[in-house]
Structure 1
Amino acid sequence: MNERSGTRVHPLPLKGVFRLGRWGDIWHKHALSAVVALAVPDLILLAMGRLDLAVYTSAGAMCALYAHGLPYRARARALLGVILGMIASVGVALTAAALTRFAVVLVVVSAVLAALHKVACDATRIGPPGNLIFTFMAAACAFVPQRLAEVPFHLALAAVGAVIAWLVCMAPAIVRPDGPQRIAVARALEAVVRLPRAGADTAVATAVDADGDVGANTGANTGTDSGTDSGAVLRARHAAAAAVNAAWHTILLVPPSPDRGALERLLVHAEEFLATGAVADADRFAGWAADLRRNRPLPETDLTEAEAAELAGVAVERAAWGGRPGLLSAFHPSSPLFPIGVRVAAGSALAGLVSMAAGVGHPYWAIVTAAAVFQANATLSWQRALQRVLGNLAGLLLFVVLLPISRIGQLALVLLVLLLQFATEALITRNYWLGTVCVTPMALLLTEFPGYQPAGQMITDRWLDTCVGVAAGLLGCLLVTNRRTADRIDAALGRVAAAQDRAERLPEAGPAGPGEAFQARSLLVAALVELREATEIAAGEWWRDTPPEERIARAERRGHRTLARLAEPVRDRVGSRPVGG
C-alpha cells in the first residue's frame, strides 16, 4: 500500500467474490410477481400472433420487481413513481429511435439515461434491482426501429404492462395487509439475535489462540467498546443497527393503529437488545420473529401501549436523519451521487461506442453491462465485473443447452423465458454471478420473440459485449474517482458527535425518562449506521484520501458505550414485569 500526499492506492480484492450467501427471505415475492406480470401480456400477445410487441409490455411488467419491502400504501406510491420513470425512459428511447438511426446518437442517449437511472435509484433508495432494469429496457427500446407515429401505441403497451405489474404487487394486501411491516420487524429481531452468536464465535476463536494475539489486536481495528470484538462482531452490530433502523422507517410509513403499536413495542425491545446484547432474551426474540413471519397473532410484550408510544413516537425525528440527498438535489454537481452518474455515463457510452466499432449487432448489451458494473465504490464495481464475466460465460453455455427447446415453438420460448426469470430472482440473492447465469440466456431468448436469430452470432455478440462492457465499466470506475466520500464521512462524524453530545447532556438535567433516553439512543443508532455505511463506501475506493481511522474508531467506540448506558432506564422500567407472548 503506497501513500502519497494523504492518499492511498489499494489493491482490488478477489477474496469472497464468488462466495454464495443466504437465500433472500422474500425472493419468491419478486419472482412470482415478475413471472405473473410478464406472463399475462406475453401469453395474450402469443395468442394474437404479435409476440414482437412483447418488448414494450415487458418494460411495464418488469416494474413488478420493485417495492416489495414497503407497506402497501407506501408501495402503491412507490410503484407509481417506478412506473412513471419507466414509461418516461422508454418514451425518450423510443422517440430517439424514431428520429434517428445514427447509432452513435442512440448510444449517447442510452448512456445518459443509464446515468439518470443510477442517480435517481440511489437517491430514492428504491432498492433491488435498482437502476439495471430501467437501463436494460430503455437501451433495448432505443435500438428497436421505430416510426414516430408508432411511439404512442408502444408506450400504451408499456402502460398496460405497468398496470398489470401494479395490480400484481398490490394483490397480497387483500390476504395479508400488514405483511411488509411484519417482515421488517422480524428481520430486525433476527439481526439482533445474531449479535450474541457472533460474540460467542469470537470468544471461541480468542480462546484457541495460544498466544492471545486475537483478543489483543482486533479491538484496535474495529473501534468497538470491548477491545476484543472481531470484525464479525462489528459487522453483526452494524447489520443489526441497520435492520432496526430500516424497520423503524418501514413502521413510520404505516398509519397509527393497534397493530402498528404492537410492532413498535417489539422494536423498542430490539433497540434495548441492540444496546445490551442480553443473551438471555435471544430465544424470546427468535420466537417473536417466527410468529411475525408465520402470520400468527402479534406477540405481547412487557411494555404498555402508552409506554411504547412515548418511546416509539420519537423515532419520527430519527427518520429525518438521512445521509443521501433528495431526488432533485442528487443531480446537482455538488451532490455525492453526481460523480457516480458521471462514471455511469462515461463508461456506458464508451462501452456502446467500442461495441459498435467492433461491429457487434447488439451494442445496447455492452451499455447495460457497463451500467451493471457500477456500484457504490471501485471495489464493489470490481467484484461485480468479475461476477458478470463468470455468470455470462456460464449463461452462454446454458443458452446452448436450452436453444433446441426454445426452437420447438413460440410457446416453449415464452415458457423458458418465464422460467429463467423466476430462477434469476431465486439465485441472484445467493450471489450476483449465479443470477446472471439465468439472465444471459433469458436476454438472448428475448431477442427471438420477433423471430429466430442466428445462434452463433448471438453468442458471439453477447460475449464480446460482456468483455467490452466490463472493461469500459472498470475503466470508468478507475478514472472517475469519487473523492466526495471523505465529505460524507465528515458529515456522518458530525451527526455522531451531535447525537453523542445530546446523549451526554441527559444526566446533567437529572435522571432521563425512557422517552428521552430512547430518543437519544435512536438518533445515535441512526448516526452510527450512517457513519459505518460512509466508511465502508470510502474504504472501497481504490484511490482515496486517507480516512480519519482513529477518529472513526473513537466515535464508534464511544457511541456503542453510550448505547449501553442509555438502555438502562428502559431495562429498569420494564425488567420487573412478566413477559407475555
Structure 2
Amino acid sequence: MGKHAKPSGKSAHRAPGSVVRARPLPVRSAVRLRRPVDIWHKPALSAVAALAIPDLTLWALGRLDLILYTSAGAMCALYAHGLPYAARARTLPWVVLGMVASLGIALTAASLITSTALLVGCASLVAAVHKVVCDATRIGPPGNIILTFVTTSAFFVPQHPGQVPPHMALALGAGALAWLVCMAPALIRPQGPERIVVARALEAAAGLLRTDAGTDEERVGVPHARHATAAAVNAAWHTLFLVPVRTPAKAAARAGLERLLVRAESALGGTGRGSEASAEDGSRDARFAGAEADRLGGWARELRSGRPLPEVALSAAQAEELAGIAAEDPGPRRPAPGQPRGVRAVLARLAPGSPLLPIGARVAAGCVLAGWASMAVGVGHPYWAVVTAASIYQANTTLSWQRALQRTLGNLLGLLLYTALLPLMHLGPLAMIALALACQLGAEAGITRNYWLGSVCVTPMALLLTEFGSRVPATTLIADRWIDTVVGAAVGLVCCVLVTNRRAADRIEVALGRVAAAEAVAFRLLSAGPASGADDARDIGWARDPLAGCLVELREAVEVAAGEWWQRALPQERIAHAEQRGHRALAGLVRRLSAPTLAA
C-alpha cells in the first residue's frame, strides 16, 4: 500500500538483515511550502497573550532582565491545543511543571558550575531527556524544542543559588497564566477541539470517496487516502473519548459527534469499483460516492463554523454499538482493554529496546559535541549550537537532514530580518516587546507551512530575548548565531549518521505481529455472520478499533524506518500483504456495522 510498499525485487526474498541499503537525502521537498495547519492561530494567539501580560508588567516595573524566566512559563501556552478542554486542563500543568523543573535544574547548575564545557554536557543530557520524554508522551507540537530552547539558555545565565527559587516562582506564575489563557476559549466554544478533529475525519473521508470514485489515474492515490482517513478517524476517536460526559447535555453533544465520526468511518468500508463492474454500475457508484463526499464535506464545514450538529442517520448495528458504549461506560474505547494507558503506556515506550533510546543517544552526543565545537571556534554563545543540534533530530535520518537544511536556511534569513529590524529596536523597550510578540506570531504562522519559514521569525525573537538580559553588539550576536547554527547543524548531522537507529526496522516486526493478531480477531468475527445485537456490534467495534490503530502504527513504523539512510532492506512484500489484508478486514468490519445505512 502506498509508495513504500512496492516490492523490492530480489532483495525482498533475502533474509532480513542480509541486505543494507543507503537512502538518498532529499533537498527540494525539504524547502517546499505546505498548506498551513487549520488551527495555527490558536497556539499563536495564546502564546502572544501569555507573553504580553508578563512582558508589559516587567516593563512597568523596570525589570525586563527577568523576561527569560516569565517567558519560560508563558511559552507553555503553545502546547495541548489539539486536546479537548478537560484533557488540556490536566495536561498543561504537567508541561508547566516539566518546564519549571528543567529551568530549576539549569539555574542551579549555572549557579554552581563554572566550567562552560561541563555546562554544555549538562544541557545536552537535559535536551536528550526532553526529546525522549516528549516523544514517549506524544505531547504533540511544538514537542521538545521549546523546553530545550529555554532550558539550554538558562544553563548559561549568571546566577546565584539564592536567586533560583524566585526565578522559578516567576516561571511558575507565568505558567499558571498560560494555563488560564489556553483554557479561556472554553467559555466561548467548549466543544471546539473535538469539533475540529471530527471535521478533519469527515474531510479525510470525503477525500477518500472522491479519490476512489475518480479516474484510474486518480485512484492510484486510494491507498494513501485510505491510510489518511484511517489515521484521522483513529485520532478523532482518541480525542472524543477524552471528553467527560458528566451531564446529560455533554453526553448528548458527544453522542452527536460520535454519530458523525461513525459516518466518516463508513467511508473505509467502500468496496471500490472492481474491474468486472459495468460502466453503468461504475457511474452509479461514482455518483453515490460524490454525493456522500459532498455531504461529509458540508458537515465538516458546519462543525468548523460552530453551527448546531446535523442529524445523521446510522445503521441499526452502528446505533446499537454507540448505545451499548453509552450505557456501559463513557470511557475510551481506545486502546482496547488490557493495553496500557497513561503513565504505564509512557513507561512502556521507554522500556529497554525502545526505538526512542537511539534517538536520545543521538541528541545527547550531537548536542555535547556541537557545544564543544562551538567553544573551540571561540563562539560566546555555545548554547545556540546545542539548541540547533537538538532541534534537528527527528524520527529518522532523512527527516533530520531536512530539518538541518531548513534550520540553516531559516536562521540565515532570520539574521537578515534581525538586521533589518535593528533601527526599530533602538526605539526603546516597548518597541522590542512589540517586535518579539510579532515574531512569535509570525513564527507560528510560518512554521506549519515549513520549518524554515517559521525559523525566519524565531531567530530574531531569540536574539531579542538575549538583548533584554544584557546588551551585546549586534555584529557579535549575528556572527555567533550564524556560526553556532552551522556548527550545530553539521555536528548534529554527523552524529545522526554515525548513531544509526537499527531498532526502527525492529519496530516494523513488532507492528506486523500486532496487525496479524488484530486481523485474526477481525476475520474470526467476519466469518461468524452479521451482527445480531448490541453485544455483537460492540464486539465488532472492539475488533475494529485495535485493527485501525495497528494499521496506523505499522504505516508510521514503515515511514520512520524507510527514512534511515543505512540499514537492512525492509520486508516490503510482507508489509504490503499485511496492509492489504488489514484494510480488507477493516473494511469488512466497517461494512458489517454500517450496512444498511439509512439515507441522511
Contact residue 248 and residue 315 of structure 1 kept, 8 A: no
Query: SS of the residue aligned with 1:77?
Result: helix
Displacement of 1:469? 0.6
Query: SS of the residue aligned with 1:506?
Result: helix
Relative to structure 1, is the Cα distance of residues 546 and 422 closer, same or farther in structure 2, using a 3 angstrom cutoff?
Answer: same
Relative to structure 1, is the Cα distance of residues 552 and 322 closer, same or farther in structure 2, using a 3 angstrom cutoff?
Answer: farther
After superposition, give the CA deviation of every residue in 1:354-408 in whole Å (9 maximum; x if it has no partner). 1111111111110000000000000000000111111111111111111110111
Q: Is 1:57 equivalent to 2:76 in the alignment?
A: no
The more displaced of 275-284 and 494-503 is: 275-284
Correspondence for 1:281: 292
Displacement of 1:507? 3.9
Tell me which of 210, 224, 230 is aligned to 1:241. 230
After superposition, give the CA deviation of every residue in 1:170-189 in whole Å (9 maximum; x if it has no partner). 11111111111111111111
How many angstroms apart in 2 are the aligned matches of 1:332 and 1:360? 38
Q: Which structure exhibits the higher relative contact order, with contacts defined as CA atoms closer than 8 Å and separated by 6 or more residues?
A: 2
Relative to structure 1, is the Cα distance of residues 499 and 234 closer, same or farther in structure 2, using a 3 angstrom cutoff?
Answer: same
How many angstroms apart in 1 are the aligned matches of 2:138 and 2:560? 15
Displacement of 1:160? 1.1
Q: Which amino acid aligns with 1:434?
A: L
Tell me which of 549, 562, 572 is aligned to 2:585. 562
Q: Which amino acid aligns with 2:424?
A: I
Displacement of 1:82? 0.3
Q: Is 1:398 equivalent to 2:412 in the alignment?
A: no
Query: SS of the residue aligned with 1:509?
Result: coil
How many angstroms apart in 2 are the aligned matches of 1:168 and 1:191? 31
Q: Which amino acid aligns with 1:395?
A: G
Q: Which amino acid aligns with 1:308?
A: L
Correspondence for 1:212: none
User: Within 5 A, what are the aligned runs for 1:13-32?
Assistant: 13-32=26-45
Correspondence for 1:211: none
Correspondence for 1:9: 22
Q: Which amino acid aligns with 1:144?
A: V
How many angstroms apart in 1 are the aligned matches of 2:354 and 2:593? 39
Correspondence for 1:308: 322
Contact residue 119 and residue 337 of structure 1 kept, 8 A: yes
Query: SS of the residue aligned with 1:328?
Result: helix
How many angstroms apart in 2 are the aligned matches of 1:431 and 1:240? 23
Contact residue 234 and residue 549 of structure 2 kept, 8 A: yes
Q: Is 1:268 equivalent to 2:262 in the alignment?
A: yes
Q: Which amino acid aligns with 1:31?
A: A
Q: Is 1:471 equivalent to 2:490 in the alignment?
A: yes
Query: SS of the residue aligned with 2:346?
Result: coil
Correspondence for 2:599: 578
Correspondence for 1:445: 464
Tell me which of 462, 466, 470 is aligned to 2:481. 462
Correspondence for 1:218: none
Displacement of 1:451? 3.9
- The gaps in structure 1 that reach 5 residues or longer are 206-228
After superposition, give the CA deviation of every residue in 1:512-538 in whole Å (9 maximum; x if it has no partner). 344333333322211111110000000
Relative to structure 1, is the Cα distance of residues 507 and 143 closer, same or farther in structure 2, using a 3 angstrom cutoff?
Answer: closer
Correspondence for 1:318: 334
How many angstroms apart in 2 are the aligned matches of 1:578 and 1:193? 17
How many angstroms apart in 1 are the aligned matches of 2:78 and 2:408? 24
Query: SS of the residue aligned with 1:70?
Result: coil
Query: SS of the residue aligned with 2:129?
Result: helix
The more displaced of 556-565 and 455-464 is: 556-565
How many angstroms apart in 2 are the aligned matches of 1:155 and 1:499? 48
Q: Which amino acid aligns with 2:565?
A: W
Query: SS of the residue aligned with 1:16?
Result: helix
The more displaced of 493-502 and 412-421 is: 493-502
Displacement of 1:75? 0.3
Q: Which amino acid aligns with 2:467?
A: E
> Which TM-score applies when normalising by structure 1?
0.91
Q: Which amino acid aligns with 2:42?
A: K
Query: SS of the residue aligned with 1:494?
Result: helix
How many angstroms apart in 1 are the aligned matches of 2:217 and 2:497? 40
Correspondence for 2:569: 546
Correspondence for 2:279: none
Displacement of 1:288? 1.0
- Give the RMSD, CA atoms, in angstroms: 2.2
Relative to structure 1, is the Cα distance of residues 94 and 561 closer, same or farther in structure 2, using a 3 angstrom cutoff?
Answer: same
Query: SS of the residue aligned with 2:159?
Result: coil
How many angstroms apart in 2 are the aligned matches of 1:347 and 1:202? 48
| Percent identity of equivalent pairs | 59
How many angstroms apart in 2 are the aligned matches of 1:104 and 1:329? 34
Displacement of 1:9? 1.6
How many angstroms apart in 2 are the aligned matches of 1:380 and 1:202? 33
Query: SS of the residue aligned with 1:544?
Result: strand
Correspondence for 2:511: 492
- The gaps in structure 2 that reach 5 residues or longer are 1-7, 12-16, 246-250, 273-288
Q: Which amino acid aligns with 2:568?
A: D
Contact residue 323 and residue 530 of structure 1 kept, 8 A: no
Correspondence for 2:309: 298
Correspondence for 1:195: 208
Q: Which amino acid aligns with 1:547?
A: L
Tell me which of 330, 337, 357 is aligned to 2:356. 337
Correspondence for 2:406: 387
Contact residue 314 and residue 515 of structure 1 kept, 8 A: no
Relative to structure 1, is the Cα distance of residues 331 and 560 closer, same or farther in structure 2, using a 3 angstrom cutoff?
Answer: closer
> Which TM-score applies when normalising by structure 2?
0.88
Q: Is 1:45 equivalent to 2:58 in the alignment?
A: yes
After superposition, give the CA deviation of every residue in 1:243-283 in whole Å (9 maximum; x if it has no partner). 11010000111123111111111111111112317443101
How many angstroms apart in 2 are the aligned matches of 1:51 and 1:517? 60
Displacement of 1:445? 1.3
How many angstroms apart in 1 are the aligned matches of 2:213 and 2:409? 36
User: Within 5 A, what are the aligned runs for 1:68-467?
Assistant: 68-199=81-212, 203-204=216-217, 230=220, 232-256=221-245, 257-276=251-270, 278-303=289-314, 306-310=320-324, 316-320=332-336, 326-467=345-486
How many angstroms apart in 1 are the aligned matches of 2:555 and 2:587? 18
Query: SS of the residue aligned with 2:21?
Result: strand
The more displaced of 552-561 and 520-529 is: 520-529
Contact residue 311 and residue 518 of structure 1 kept, 8 A: no
